[in-house]
Amino acid sequence: MRESVTESPNRAAAPNLSAIEKVEQQVPGPREERPPVEGRSAAYDSDLLRAARREPVSRTPVWFMRQAGRALPEYRKVRAGIPMLESCMRPDLVTEITLQPVRRYGVDAAVFFSDIVLPLKAIGVDLEIKPDVGPVIANPVRDFAGLEQIRPLDPDADLWFVTEAVRQLVGELGPKPLIGFGGAPFTVASYLIEGGPSKNLEKTKAMMLGAPELFAALLDRLADLTAGFLRVQIEAGASVVQLFDSWVGALSPRDYQRYVMPHSAKVLAAVADLGVPRIHFGVGTGELLPLMAAAGADVVGVDWRVPLDEASRRIGPGYAVQGNLDPAVIFAPWPAIETRVREVLREGAQAPGHIFNLGHGVMPEMDPDTLARVVELVHEASAR
Ligand code: CP3
């Protein structure tokens, strides 16, 4: 089946949240036309960057969130005995792990191997990533004194290993884009406040509503931290970045707009001058999509709950979309997978730009061969 680059239908239906216009006026330049950056990266003309800019592509680009990791035996082998965050601080290991899924799956981009909590570790916050659990914080932030753990980032001293790994990778990758990333202030704050992963984010919401000044001060510090992390990656050669707000779907649009969006907008605005596309992603964000776009994204990442044509309608024609195959579909028999992949491509073709991805990350139990087959199918079925 052939997917064509369809003229995106003129959608008069603007997002019906009048608040968005207000926010778009306040937020520095989410939709500004940026001047071309001097010394365009080797990846500038790749399909992934073209799709992000809503330009025609030769075929739909595809990568997988969390494509590096435990689904790959070669990852488990090189990581054996090395704690997660320590592995992120060894440039040679980071380079190898980042390249593994590119070799194995034939994806159109590498995603820098690191973690959303790595910058916290780099500035000295006492935390670890526990296997099968996630980030665990020794001294959760519960008051203003707790904020002092989050000191300003000194990129050269704190993140030299990121610069080195990104440089190595960009050299190896040539015209293939390297995606840098960071954690959005809300999602990172949720770990700091809860002390670890949490299902309902009770403490986070209690602080947001009960101590809004403390909450805002925390998110503001985290915005600067993530902005610094993203800038380091871009300046070292990452040609696109993704802001992960994985758990923000827990919020209503009103609370998102009031308590969280300004901080995410600060992060996205802080890298706008560098001229690389910014992808903004969260899980369960169907009701937040227009706001997440207006926060300063070029591409909005969509989970599997909203079809991409509908997602694109919700955010309007000025944005590309990324997604959104239900990760669980990878465990179904191949004919079911194939049907769903083609559906996602068809729906994605209704948006002005589409980057194929899962609706959330790769899981350790997934069969690498199936993921490789998905990449092949996306390329074949979308070839123009
Ligand atoms: O995508 C990639 O391949 C790049 C690497 C990457 C990692 N973490 C490596 C990692 C990325 C993009 C992340 C982002 C991240 N980290 C997010 C946002 C993405 C998402 O899934 O929503 C979040 C919420 C975190 C925090 C975090 N780190 C969690 C929840 C976990 C999982 C805990 C577990 O063991 O299941 C981690 C650990 C982690 N980060 C692993 C990897 C490969 C697994 C650690 C291991 O291999 O032992």
pLDDT digits (tens, 9 = 90+) for 325-377: 999 999 999 999 999 999 999 999 999 999 999 999 999 999 999 999 999 99
Structure tokens at 56: 């025609």
The answer to whether the CB of 359 is under 6 A from ligand 1 is no
Which residues have CB under 8 Å from 383's CB, separation 6+?
Answer: 2, 58, 59
Which residues have CB under 8 Å from 192's CB, separation 6+?
Answer: 120, 125, 137, 140, 141, 150, 218, 222
Task: Give the H or E element holding residue 280.
Answer: strand 278-281
At residue 244, φ and ψ (nearest 5 deg) are: -90, 115
From 62, 64, 65, 66, mutation site for ligand 1 pocket: most ligand atoms within 8 A of C-beta:
66
Residue nearest atom 43 in ligand 1 by C-alpha distance = 69
Question: How many domains would you assign to the chain?
Answer: 1
Largest CA distance in the chain: 59
Instruction: Say how far apart CA 111 and CA 363 lie, in whole Å.
Output: 16
Q: Which residues of the chain have pLDDT under 70?
A: 1-39
| Among candidate residues 283, 219, 280, the one with its CA nearest the CA of residue 249 | 283
Residue 13 domain flag: no
Residue 360 domain flag: yes
Residue 3 domain flag: no
Residue 60 domain flag: yes
Active site (catalytic) residues: 66, 70, 79, 115, 191
Q: Which atom of ligand 1 is nearest to the CA of 197?
A: 30
Instruction: Say how far apart CA 235 and CA 258 lie, in whole Å.
Output: 31
Indicate if the alpha-carbon torsion angle 209, 212, 214, 216 is positive or negative: positive
What pTM did the predictor assign?
Answer: 0.91
Distance of CA 216 to the CA centre of its chain: 22
User: What pLDDT, on a 0 to 100 scale, did the predictor assign at position 39?
Assistant: 58
User: What is the Å distance from ligand 1's center to 279 Cα?
Assistant: 17
User: What pLDDT, on a 0 to 100 scale, did the predictor assign at position 30?
Assistant: 38
Which residues have CB under 8 Å from 38's CB, separation 6+?
Answer: none
From 95, 102, 115, mutation site for ligand 1 pocket: most ligand atoms within 8 A of C-beta:
115
The answer to whether the CB of 88 is under 6 A from ligand 1 is no
Domain at 268, CATH number: 3.20.20.210
Enclosing domain of residue 129 = 18-26+40-382
Residue 35 domain flag: no
User: What pLDDT, on a 0 to 100 scale, did the predictor assign at position 36?
Assistant: 43
Residue 34 domain flag: no
User: What is the Å distance from ligand 1's center to 362 Cα?
Assistant: 10
Residue 207 domain flag: yes
Residue 125 domain flag: yes
**Paired sense of beta strands 110-111 and 299-301, if any:** unpaired
User: What pLDDT, on a 0 to 100 scale, did the predictor assign at position 40?
Assistant: 81
Distance of CA 370 to the CA centre of its chain: 23
Instruction: Say how far apart CA 196 and CA 98 lie, in whole Å.
Output: 26
Q: What is the pLDDT of residues 312-326, one digit of tens each?
A: 999 999 999 999 999
